[in-house]
Amino acid sequence: MEGLEEILLKIILQNPANGEVFYNLLRKETNKLKTSIPPKRELIIAYQKLIKNKRAVPNKHFEFLLRKAQIRTLSGVAVITSLVKPYNCPGNCVYCPSEARMPKSYLASEPAAARALGLKFNPYEQMRQRILMLEQNGHPTDKIEYIIKGGSWNAYPLKYQYWFILESFRACNELSSRTLRSKGCGDPKDSQKKTGIASSRSSETRNDSLEQLRQQLKIEQRKNETSKHRIIGLTLETRPDCVTPTTIVHMREQGCTRIELGLQAPDDKILKLVDRGHTVQQFKDAMLLLRQAGFKVDLHFMPDLPGTTAKHDVEMYKLLFSDPGLKPDMVKIYPCTVIKSAPLYKWYKAGKYKPYSEHKLFEALIAMKLATPRYCRISRLIRDIPENEISGGNIITNLRQHLATEMKNRGLKCQCLRCREIGHQQDLRLKTEDLRLFTDKYETTGGTEYFLSYEDKNRQVVFAFLRLRLPTVIASPARAGRGNPNVLNTSMGIASSPSGASRNDTAFIRELHTYGQLMTLKHEHIKALKQKNDVQHTGFGKKLVLEAEKIAKKNHYQKLSIISGVGVRGYYRKLGYKLEKTYMTKKIST
């Protein structure tokens, strides 16, 4: 667009404080020229030309305002999601949509699902093209939070699991080695011609044995420790009745650090009615196994299911944080919707199921947000299901924003972790010297949890946090189908007694996170950014780890293990930790 560079120069001079001010200035200037607002990609190109021609100096805050979909890196990492191929799911939930060409519960019209379908669910291509697209839109992709979705992970064949993750790591490593940066690389869809990277080399039909795939994955993981695109966290989605000591061992070997686990409702009557296929106790057993292995757990909760009311949903939600067998680290709240391809659609048409009103749902969700403790993050409040796919239930696509506006009007505040992240509090002017260390301690089945965080004195903003678990001596669940608990203990480097109870001389750091706009690991202005109080790399992580060591040592634990993502192993090595099995460990006893 002619004059776009001049428009940006005018906006830069006015130093917009936030995205809203930036947008208003942009709209004002484009209206003067009687033209539409250009795509952010064009704005980024124009800005880069200004810098290259020395008509403007680099401005980190202005670059932040220019980025497309800023939310993707607000939490300190670039989030990339891939979908696995369609495969049989062990569940028969009545609310779950089913498309023959999609994995269970996913629709081809959902954004991430549509991308995966277009790439034939190829993990290599899904990862490669998302990295390129994010970079073209101005996002750093040095640190990647990788989420694999689609059905129940542990129900897929083991060879497919290892192959899928192997190809994802390979894409990160090979893209790094070819230095395909956003500058001049063009459309990601055309980049294969320019690099010679062919999708066929990542064919699922390869004849490698399971053991060969496991060994190749270890090689790619070691490469990824120093790669330009490091996978610092890996999330897998599964069912509680699929979680066993053996499946946990495989998930750790694959590099998984977080599990998304569907509960839907802590009420056995409702679970039976919707044909969920497991009980509340089975979910608690899975939670215990996962916590004992150091995993973070993102619990799925579904209001407005058949057999419930708005009042009962709020009661059940509060139970999530009072029952020691639950108390999740994160929660995704997915209000039940009626989709034509789900069995629930027939119930809906026959009058056997009627969603409660939009007003009741809205009030219930506000009550749930107010009931969420500081240590828990409400990671989602709605699924990206297009409105035309929904026959009944909530159709408000920006539900979280509506809730935030209404709560603000009422003078209410959600204390969940997401709402207090520094990335979502850009208007507050805080300095690092204003921060304080807070410790929240709570009991769960099998151990004590410590939530350590650096926040402002009023606890409105979180800059960094750590989750520490001090396990108690307790036998891992040996219920039907759970398998031998000693398999899990051995994989973690924990000795076990003949009864199966671990000696539990090992404490676990289950999560360490510093918030704020992600900056590249080798940013040329990293020292200046530190001085400007950019959160990442300012030492909060190290301080939190030292505090965790102090607490574990005080409670007579001899070793501290960290469920580290592959891409951050190097960081923990600098703090004195070494790789043991699949954990970063350090002896802390004197």
pLDDT tens digits, 220-247: 999 999 999 999 999 999 999 999 999 9
> HSE-up of 121 (CA within 13 Å, CB side)?
19
- Token readout for 518 is 């992600």
State yes or no: pLDDT of 480 exceeds 60.
Answer: no
Least confident of 206-210, 339-343, 457-461, 462-466: 206-210
Token code pair at residue 66: 């220019």
Q: How confident is the model at residue 459 (pLDDT cuts 50, 70, 90)?
A: very high
Residue 454: the pLDDT is 95
Mean pLDDT of the chain: 85
Q: What are the tens digits of pLDDT across the range 73-108? A: 555 578 999 999 999 888 899 999 988 899 988 999
Pair of tokens at residue 295: 């995993």
**Could you name the CATH architecture of 424-587?**
3-Layer(aba) Sandwich (3.40)
Q: In the prediction, which pLDDT does 580 show? A: 96
Q: Which residues contact 162 (CB under 8 A, 6 or more apart)?
A: 210, 213, 214, 217, 254
- Judged against a pLDDT cut of 50, whether residue 33 lies above it is answered with yes
d(C-alpha 15, C-alpha 11), whole Å: 7
Report d(CA 569, CA 232) in Å as an integer. Answer: 9
What are the C-alpha distances in Å from 119 to residues 123, 161, 199, 201, 493? Answer: 9, 18, 10, 14, 40
What pLDDT is recorded for position 527?
A: 46
State pLDDT tens for residues 346-371: 999 999 999 999 999 999 999 999 99
Over 90: is that where the pLDDT of 390 sits? Answer: yes
Q: Who wins on pLDDT, 35 or 532?
A: 35
Domain with CATH 3.30.750.200 in the chain: 260-417
Question: 260-417 is classed in which CATH architecture?
Answer: 2-Layer Sandwich (3.30)
Contacts of 379 (CB under 8 A, 6+ apart): 298, 330, 331, 332, 418
Please give the helix or strand (H or E) that residue 43 lies within, else none: helix 40-52
Contacts of 8 (CB under 8 A, 6+ apart): 43, 46, 47, 50, 56
